[in-house]
Amino acid sequence: MAVPRVNVFHYVISLSAAVVAVIVCVAVYRFCHRVDLMAAQFQLETGPQATLLYDRAGQLVFSLHEEERIDRHLDQLAPAVVPAVLAAEDKHFLSHVGVDIVRMAGAALNDAKSRRLTQGASTITQQLVRSQALGRERTWSRKLREILLAVRIERRFTKDEILETYLNRIYLGDGYFGFQAAARGYFDKDASALDLSEAALLAGIIRCPSSCSPRNEPERARRRRDVVLQAMLDDGDVTRDAYNAAMSSLPDIKPRRADGIFPVHQDGKDPSALYFIDEVRRQLAIRFGEGAVLRGGLRVYTTLDPRLQKAAEDAVAERLSELDAQQRKLPKRDSDDDNPIEGSLVAIDPKSGEVLAIVGGRDFHSSPFNRAVQALRQPGSAFKPLVYAAALENGMLPSTILDHLDDPIPASTGGWLPADEHEGTTYTLRQALIVSSNRAAARLLQVVGMSTAQYYARRLGITSTVPLVPSLALGTAEVSLIDLTTAYGVFANNGALVSPHVITRVEDSSGDVIWRSPTMAVQILRPGTAFLMSSMLGDVINRGTGSEARAQGFKLPAAGKTGTTNDSVDTWFIGYTPHIVAGVWFGRDQPETIVRHATAATIAVPAWAKFMRAATAGDAPDWYPMPSSFEKVAICQVSGMRATNACRLAAANHQGGVVDEYFPKGMVPREPCSVHVEQLALPGVVVEPPSQPVATTGGAPEAP
């Protein structure tokens, strides 16, 4: 019997097929294993969440984000959203297992004919898997992983969970991710308020968010909307009447907002509320980190008052425009273009410490440097009230007399006598503050003590360095506008300091409060001291260096102080009512004369008055009642004693003066004025101060 010969060729073929089969099995196993690992690790994630900023009234005004996305639950979306999306993207979503076999077969046939992947047919689950885990590479292997993952994902999560994640993650053009961000961005409304036409338009542009943008390609977006509406009608998701109504309406696409805060101004520039928002962002980044701010979905409740912010922007912009017009009438300087006049304003509620408005300069985009918060400049005479407050806290009164004001003050370089437009040699504290006497302020600092004045400046909220030099009383220490405004807020709040803040609370994306701003009031000055400061600073506005505020039409009871530095480099005005304190500054970034011989009264006060007129519109007159522990007495301004008929006669003839002055009970001068009428008529007369039951030297502890 013959032995059959082995066909070597067939043997090799069989062996090769077996090896290939093993390799394929191993490859398939490894492929499926990797898919299983991916499926096990897959979590439904919508992506980075925008941090939302709310104003003082709880209205959403701004978002900080890498991707503008605001998550919403399915029950927070308009009823038309889900049917529109399913009609546009996946009509069998509720019944398939992650893939739509019928659509996939049709797409595969077309792809085979063209010999490349040209047609989609991806379900919502496949789209979600692709965007979150696989990317957009168009290959057969990626498509196979997408299919296998989609099937496994459908086993792990419910249809509602998948759909909700998809609706929050999907890109809808113009930087908007998810239906909530797109609804706010395109229609200026919440996703819960979308009508049928708007929902269908957004659903229609899912496939082409860039080329079908309703802003850039409105006609293409409308055609996509019509396709979706027709599909909804065919599927029975809408009635014929609803379909006709939607087809006949055109969604109103709003202008692109400045990151969501306010509509763009007619001149195309964003509002300078961006200075306020940038300060919020800066503080959030310090506390929580930049990543949490841009991706963490924080809910931040700010102190921004949009009405007052708008009033602040208008006041600063109008004043800068007026100053620019004045500059154009003068000989042009090289620095006028490179170093223009800048302005800033900050407004605070003194009782709560809430910062209501911030203007940090002309234009945030040109210069994001915030001059209301970050700049340190010399305040000039606007610093004097802090020295006066220290004096009142240590026993002096508005009627206390400062004399011999033409005597040089000892300094390290010898005798020093500051320049002073007001050459009187004797003033009461009230008179000296009204006319802003430099020599009186310098003498007062010597009486109070430099370290005592420094101590109170820090207590009142000045965070920058306060040097111990005789010129401190004239405002040579550099301070920020927000710090100095905070200090005046202590006067406005009966001597109590509430630290200024732009954020009241922060919540995480789940709504849990993770931080609150401390708002505890700290009593810095005695209420009586604050009352006396308000009384004297009220006179500054009514008949002193701040009286331009009255000329500008601001009528409510108020208090405040001007500040002008040497050569008119910086001009300030800080003023307040019982309910709002506001500070303004005008100058150049590189210290240089604004306008020759300019003063704060002519530069800064008009902007303050314009802002305050708008901020207090409709407010009833309101002022501080005299404390029950005080008495009001008519006082002769020359002697500081009780006024007599002779004093009143001299005052009536414009010789001398009589004022109503306030004294703590038990400290009222008992002696009548003994100065003769002839003395009252002599300007600059020096009268030795009578013995008074109050100390005229500082007694506060040294600053720690």
Please list the residues that pair with 416 across neighbouring strands: 409
**DSSP letter string over 46-60?**
--PBPEEEE-TTS-E
Look at residues 572, 527, 562, 571 and name the one whose alpha carbon lies nearest to residue 541: 562
89 among known catalytic residues: yes
The torsion region of residue 449 among left (phi > 0), alpha (psi -120 to 50) and beta comes to left
Measured CA to CA in angstroms, residue 32 lies from 97, 144, 240 at distances of 18, 10, 48
Q: Cβ contacts of residue 581 below 8 Å, gap of 6+?
A: 347, 348, 350, 485, 488, 489, 492, 574, 575
Angle at which helices 438-448 and 450-459 pack, to 10 degrees? 100
Q: Cβ contacts of residue 167 below 8 Å, gap of 6+?
A: 72, 74, 77, 81, 82, 85, 178, 179
* Distance separating alpha carbons of residues 605 and 397, to the nearest angstrom: 28
Can you say whether the dihedral through the CA atoms of 188, 189, 195, 201 is positive or negative? positive
Burial 538-571 (b: 16+ CB within 10 A, else e): bbbbeebbbbbbeeeebeeebbbbbbbbeebbbb
Catalytic residue among 68, 89, 393, 661: 89
* Distance separating alpha carbons of residues 604 and 595, to the nearest angstrom: 12
Token representation of residue 379? 């305040």
Helix ranges, 235-289 (H): 240-248, 274-288
* Distance separating alpha carbons of residues 52 and 340, to the nearest angstrom: 35
Are 284 and 297 in contact, with CB atoms under 8 Å apart? Answer: no
3 state SS of 101: helix
**Which amino acid is it at 560?**
G
Cβ burial, residue 427 (10 Å; 0-12/13-18/19+): buried
Measured CA to CA in angstroms, residue 627 lies from 200, 213, 488, 635 at distances of 66, 65, 19, 19
* Distance separating alpha carbons of residues 289 and 297, to the nearest angstrom: 13
Catalytic residue among 63, 122, 272, 381: 381
**Residue 147 backbone dihedrals phi, psi, to 5 degrees:** -65, -50
381 among known catalytic residues: yes
Please list the residues that pair with 572 across neighbouring strands: 563, 585
Are 307 and 554 in contact, with CB atoms under 8 Å apart? Answer: no
**Residue 61 backbone dihedrals phi, psi, to 5 degrees:** -125, -15
* Distance separating alpha carbons of residues 378 and 136, to the nearest angstrom: 59
* Distance separating alpha carbons of residues 482 and 27, to the nearest angstrom: 68
Cβ burial, residue 589 (10 Å; 0-12/13-18/19+): middle
CA dihedral 551, 556, 558, 562 (to 10 degrees): -20
**DSSP letter string over 603-657?**
HTHHHHHHHHHHHTTTPPP--PPPPTTEEEEEEETTTSSB--HHHHHHHHTTSS-
Helix (H), strand (E) at residue 358: strand 355-359
Other beta carbons within 10 angstroms of residue 454's beta carbon come to 22
* Distance separating alpha carbons of residues 501 and 516, to the nearest angstrom: 11
Residue with tokens 């070597």, as numbered in its chain = 8
Q: Do strands 51-54 and 299-302 pair parallel, antiparallel, or not at all (unpaired)?
A: parallel
* Distance separating alpha carbons of residues 147 and 121, to the nearest angstrom: 11
Please identify every residue annotated as catalytic.
89, 381
